[in-house]
Amino acid sequence: EPEVTQTPSHQVTQMGQEVILRCVPISNHLYFYWYRQILGQKVEFLVSFYNNEISEKSEIFDDQFSVERPDGSNFTLKIRSTKLEDSAMYFCANHAGISTEAFFGQGTRLTVV
């Protein structure tokens, strides 16, 4: 089965520090997303990426967040200056087409102290 891979699995950072979360998507699956899940809450959409550009951003995805594709295949999610409320599980996901199955990575647990 296709697999989406995320690193690191867990990151602890001090408030105000920058973090970079990484994701290796399934190749030739063109639709790519970042989601987050605060402990005990719903999975929330952050940003989508299609055809090498951001297609949609949520209200959560403010100027502190950025998504890049540094090597043309893998993705990063950068949080420039972390806040306590950024503590959450961050998931990347992708799928091949608009009505196809979405595959999620195992997530990065970000803890901001």
Partner 1 sequence: KQEVTQIPAALSVPEGENLVLNCSFTDSAIYNLQWFRQDPGKGLTSLLLIQSSQREQTSGRLNASLDKSSGRSTLYIAASQPGDSATYLCAVPFDKLIFGTGTRLQVFP
Q: Which residues bind partner 1 (CB under 8 A)?
A: 6, 33, 35, 42-45, 48, 55-56, 89, 91, 93, 98-107, 109
**Residue 64 phi, psi (nearest 5):** -75, -15
Q: Measured from the CB atom, is 40 or 71 closer to partner 1?
A: 40
Could you tell me the smallest distance in angstroms from the CB atom of residue 45 to partner 1?
Answer: 4
Could you tell me the smallest distance in angstroms from the CB atom of residue 29 to partner 1?
Answer: 13
> By C-alpha distance, which of 56, 64, 58, 60 is closest to 20?
64
SS3 86: helix
Q: Measured from the CB atom, is 84 or 98 closer to partner 1?
A: 98
Q: Examine residue 8 and say whether the peptide bond preceding it is cis (omega within 30 degrees of 0).
A: yes
